Every structure is written in structure tokens, then in C-alpha cells.
Amino acid sequence: MAFLTYFRLNSAAPITLATLTCLAAYLLFSLQQIVISAWLGSGVSLGSTAIRVFIVTVSVWLYRRQGLHPILRRPLLAVSACLIALAASVLMSEHPVIAVKFAVKYATSLLLLWTFLNLALAYPIFPAAAARAALLALWGNILLSLGVRFEIPGLKHFSLAFHPEASFAYLPRVSGIYEHPAIFGATSVMAAILAIQLYTQNRLGKRTLPWVITGTCLVLLLTESRNALVPLFGFGCGFAWVFRHEFRGSNVWRIGGGIALLVVLMGFILVQRHAELTSASKESPLTAFTLGRTYIWAGAFEAWRGHPWFGLGAGVFQFLTPDFTGGRFDRGELHAHNVLLAILSETGLSGLSAYAFLVYSLWRPLLKPGMEALQRNWILIWLAVLPSFGLFDFYLPFYGFSMHLALVLAGQYASAYPCREKLPAAGGISQ
């Protein structure tokens, strides 16, 4: 933990070193295909083990150093409630082996969020450095994806340390170091919005922002991810509204340019996915547009109705999808594709109540009276953007998305609640 103490006490601590440290940790956490042991008939990866070691080590260190931050008392209760709901879903599940595997994964993501919040409040340099690391990872993923797509020798084998070989089935759609192109698209949008927030707060230079936007556009084009356009559209609407007084006169072109870019991206992706969209031409327009998600949603709803209080068990629905959709889809391949239905079908009303408490406990402290206008505006934007990630998909089972989500929330807490030990301004953050 010496490097954390160094960043806390040394006002000249270079942001570059902090960024590279976060990038190395992120890549280590992403090594999900390097198996180091076996458990319940499946492998335990180096990446997931590293995440758990990180959680335990950092949490114990921070608690011994400064105790429990008062702002995090309610979130701690909410995280505990979610863990109890997950345990109940496992105990009540008819498929406990599957349920316990996914419950451990969800619990790890919850505890990682808790650790990130503690780090953000203790070390304000952490969210900014981690956000920069995410931007470096974005371009690293792009380069890796292009290498895999154009079959540069060795890169396919290298990428198998991060994702299963089944991910190559989506080519020419690329997935970077993630399991699915949609996850790559979602994380790139989240990283881009976070970069724009840092830019408006004068914590990211003008030269960096075009690279971020260009990278995100490239990812959306290479992944052909339609779902990532939903939060991007939500961000555009929210940003234009809360900053509407900033865009007047000569600045109107920025709004027009942003809308035009979004239309071009949406048009390109819909054209590329036209065959899939029209393959369901005999179905309803909603079923065709969502690529059959209406059947999955109906199946998830029926699964919840049959197990209203505790659900089928964490992660179980995707292995029973054909049973609830009239034989449609392959077993073990598709989850509920909606965050609300996923929580209900997997953990029932007990899980939904716990997660609702978590959402409330996380966001309530961020909307405190007296907050400066810029920070409050960004809180409102994220409140509009984050739920849209779960409208047509469910990314929480994937650590790559969970880490980005935890980083976003940690960044908001770091801005809203400065460290209790007063730090000198991190002048190296601005460019």
C-alpha cells in the first residue's frame, strides 16, 4: 500500500504514474481466461482472484487507517442487503451450483464498487487517474481489435487471455478484451462521457478530448453495437438540457454537429445490422427492432411470476431461457436483456428491494443541498444515462462493465465529498 501513501502525501506525485498504476491493475483484473484453480466444476481466473485480493487488501487498509466514512454508512447497509438477497436466492434456488457461481460474481462487483467509493473519498487522485487509464485502455482495445480483425499473427492468441474463443464468432464485429462487442461499446461510451465530464471540470486537456471522441466513434463502428447508442442518446439529451444556456449564438454548431454525428453512427449501425433486423420481418416491429428481446423479456417475467420472492437464483435464467420462451434461443447463452427483469427473474422481489435501496443510498448523498451547479448538473446527467445501459441489455455479470460503473460512481463521490485529510490541488491533472 506504499504507493497509495505516496499519492496521498506527495503533492508532486505525477498523474502519469498514478494512471499507469490504474491501467496495470485494470489489465490484471481483465485476465479472465487465465485459470489458476478449479471450483464447482469451472475455473477460477487470475483476473477475478486479483480483484478479490485487491478488495480485501484495500478495504482492510483503509478501514484501519481512517475507519468508515460517515457518507458510506448507508451504502454499506445497502451493499450488505444485496449480499443477503443474493445468498437467499442461492439457498432457495433449484440450481444452486449455477446460482452460487453467479452470486459470487455479483458479490465481487458489489464489493469492488464499495472499495472504489472508499478509495475515491480517501485519495481524490484515484478517480481522475483511473479515468485516464480507461481512456488508454480504450485505444489499446481498438488497436488489439483491429489486429484481431485483420488477423495479425499472435494477437488472437494474446486476446484469449482476456475473453473466451467464442467471442471470435462475432467477427468482423470486434470485442476488444471483452466477451461481447456490446460490452466493448457500452464501456467506450461510459469512458467517453466520463472524459467529457473531466473536460468540463478543467481536469482533462483539450488535446485529449478529440482522441476520446474519435476512439468512441471507432468502437461503435467496429462493434456495430446498437445498444450503446441508447445511453449515448440519453447523454446527448441530458447534456443539451442542463448546459442549454452555454450553447447559444456561435456555439449552436456544436449541438448540430453532435446530433449529426449521432445520426450518422445510428444509420451506419442499423444498415450493418439490417439482415438481423429484417430476419424477424413477420414479427412485431418491436420484436424485430430488439432482435427477439420481447420473447426473452416475456420469459423473464414468467420466471419471476413462478418464483416471486427469491427468483430462480443468480444467473440461472440464462440457462433456462428455452424453457420460458417456447424453445427459442440456446441454453446458457442469453440473459434477460433488461436490468429490471434480470434482477426480478434471478433474485425476485427481495433482490429488487435490496438493489433499489442500493440505488437510493448511492445517489441520495450526491444530491445534497449546497452542491455547486456544475457537479449537480453532471449528477443529473448520469442519473439519465446509467439506467439506459440496462434498457436493452444486462451488463452487470461482466467485470469490465462493473469496473467502469464503479469508477463513474467513485468519481462523483470524489467531487462531491473532498478527502477528510486536506490535500493540495492535483495540478498535474489539468493540461
Average pLDDT over residues 174-179: 95
Q: Residue 425 domain-assigned?
A: no
Q: How many other CB atoms are there within 10 angstroms of residue 322's CB atom?
A: 16
The type of residue at 306 is: G
For CA atoms 403, 398, 352, 62, give the dihedral sign. negative
Place of cell 451450483: 97
Q: Residue 174 domain-assigned?
A: yes
Model confidence over 221-253: pLDDT tens digits?
A: 999 888 888 898 889 888 888 877 766 655 556
pLDDT at 10: 46
Model confidence over 249-308: pLDDT tens digits?
A: 555 566 566 666 777 777 777 666 666 555 555 566 666 556 668 888 999 999 999 999
Model confidence over 388-404: pLDDT tens digits?
A: 999 989 999 999 999 99
DSSP 422: -
Q: CA-CA distances (angstroms) from residue 27 to 47, 113, 184, 420?
A: 8, 17, 14, 30
Q: How many other CB atoms are there within 10 angstroms of residue 26's CB atom?
A: 21
Q: Residue 428 domain-assigned?
A: no
Q: Residue 430 domain-assigned?
A: no
pLDDT at 388: 93
Place of cell 431461457: 321
Place of cell 444530491: 367
* Phi, psi (degrees; rounded to nearest 5) at 152: -70, 130
Q: Residue 280 domain-assigned?
A: yes
Among 289, 269, 262, which residue's Cα sits nearest to residue 222?
Answer: 269
pTM above 0.85, yes or no: yes
Tally of structural domains, the chain: 1
What is the percent of the chain where pLDDT is above 70?
Answer: 83
Q: Residue 331 domain-assigned?
A: yes
Cα 24 versus chain centre, distance: 18
Cell of 305: 411470476
424 has a pLDDT exceeding 60: no
Model confidence over 324-376: pLDDT tens digits?
A: 888 777 777 667 789 999 999 999 999 999 999 999 999 998 888 877 888 88
Q: Residue 220 domain-assigned?
A: yes
Model confidence over 40-73: pLDDT tens digits?
A: 667 889 999 999 999 999 999 999 988 899 999 9
Average pLDDT over the chain reads 85
The DSSP code sequence of 153-183 is TTHHHHHTTTS-GGGGGGTTS--TTSSSHHH
Average pLDDT over residues 152-177: 93
- Which of these ranges, 185-194, 316-325, 356-365, has the smallest mean pLDDT? 316-325
139 has a pLDDT exceeding 60: yes
Q: Residue 431 domain-assigned?
A: no
The type of residue at 375 is: Q
The type of residue at 262 is: L
Q: CA-CA distances (angstroms) from residue 420 to 66, 121, 122, 369?
A: 9, 8, 7, 19
Q: Residue 93 — very low, low, confident or very high, per pLDDT cuts 50/70/90?
A: very high
Q: Can you give the residue range of the structural domain that contains 350?
A: 2-6+14-419
Among 390, 311, 357, 354, which residue's Cα sits nearest to residue 83?
Answer: 354
DSSP 72: G
Distance from C-alpha of 406 to C-alpha of 294, rounded to nearest angstrom? 29
Q: Where are the alpha helices (DSSP H) in 30-95?
A: 46-66, 73-92
Distance from C-alpha of 428 to C-alpha of 431, rounded to nearest angstrom? 7
Any idea how long the chain is?
Answer: 431
pLDDT at 420: 45
